[in-house]
Amino acid sequence: MRVLLIDDHALVRKGIEELLQSRGVQVVASVGSGEEGVRRARELPADLILLDVKMPGMNGIETLKSLRASGVQAPVVMLTMSREDADLAAALRAGARGYLLKDMEPEELLPALQAAVQGDNVVAQELVGSLAGLVRGDAGAAPPAPRPAVPFAELTPREREILECIADGSSNKMIARTLDITDGTVKLHVKAILRKLGVRSRVEAAVVAVEHGLGRARKASLRPPAR
């Protein structure tokens, strides 16, 4: 995996860079401003862009919009200390593939980035409550598709089990290992779950599950998901 890192704090950049490199990730560039990040993203092939939100000058949201306007299509994951609903909403609306917090466990970062590269949405479990509000249409977000009055009535026992894992932040690979099934089987089940719940992404499915108390995780031990 090739990652472009954009963060205005030099010590943070260095720490993340060393963490990723120690796990076999190639950091193609590590820069301290949005302007430089956009320039390097256009020059260097990257599988993923890891981007801070709160930066002087061009902030992370503006940088993300500039990346997309410049034709850069690499998935972008925000890595930030900001837990503000407005930042989460703005990042997702601008096309971010994920929104993670810098106080996440180091060993959980790479699986989350790998999941994002594979097309999954990755949002910190601590922010599921905020995300639920956005999905319901709070703060100006578009309303979700209609859902069944009894959201899990149509799910098979296996689908319900997989939805519990999604709500707890497990990636498809983690679910496959836990349930002793193949990744392909998990993907088929996830597709069916989204259809039956009337949602558009596994992030929204996780929100529905958490809102109805389906997840096994408890607030005291929540972890950022590696979808």
For the stretch 120-141, pLDDT in tens is 778 887 776 666 666 555 544 4
Choose among 219, 203, 19: nearest CA to 116.
Answer: 203
Q: What's the CATH number of domain 2-119, 2.40.110.10, 3.40.50.2300, 3.30.70.1290, 3.30.310.50? A: 3.40.50.2300
Contact 40, 83 (CB under 8 A): no
Contact 60, 91 (CB under 8 A): yes
Locate CATH 3.40.50.2300 in the chain: 2-119
Choose among 3, 8, 223, 4: nearest CA to 123.
Answer: 223
What was the pLDDT predicted at 145?
A: 47
Backbone angles phi, psi at 9, to 5 degrees: -95, 115
What was the pLDDT predicted at 142?
A: 44
What was the pLDDT predicted at 62?
A: 96
Query: CB under 8 Å, gap of 24 or more: what pairs does 137-140 form?
Result: 139/85, 139/86, 139/89, 140/89
pLDDT in tens, 143-187: 444 444 557 888 999 999 999 888 777 778 888 999 999 988 998
Give the chain's residues under pLDDT 50.
Answer: 139-148, 217-227
Class of the CATH domain delimited by 136-221: mainly alpha
| Cα→Cα distances 76→35, 79, 157, 164, 214, Å | 15, 10, 34, 26, 29
Q: Report d(CA 166, CA 179) in Å as an integer.
A: 13
The dihedral formed by the CA atoms of 204, 206, 209 and 214, expressed in degrees to the nearest 10: 180
- What is the token pair recorded at 73? 């299509």
Q: Report d(CA 195, CA 200) in Å as an integer.
A: 8
Locate CATH 1.10.10.10 in the chain: 136-221
| Cα 204 to the center of its chain, rounded Å | 12
The pTM assigned to this predicted structure is 0.66
Q: How long, in residues, is the chain?
A: 227
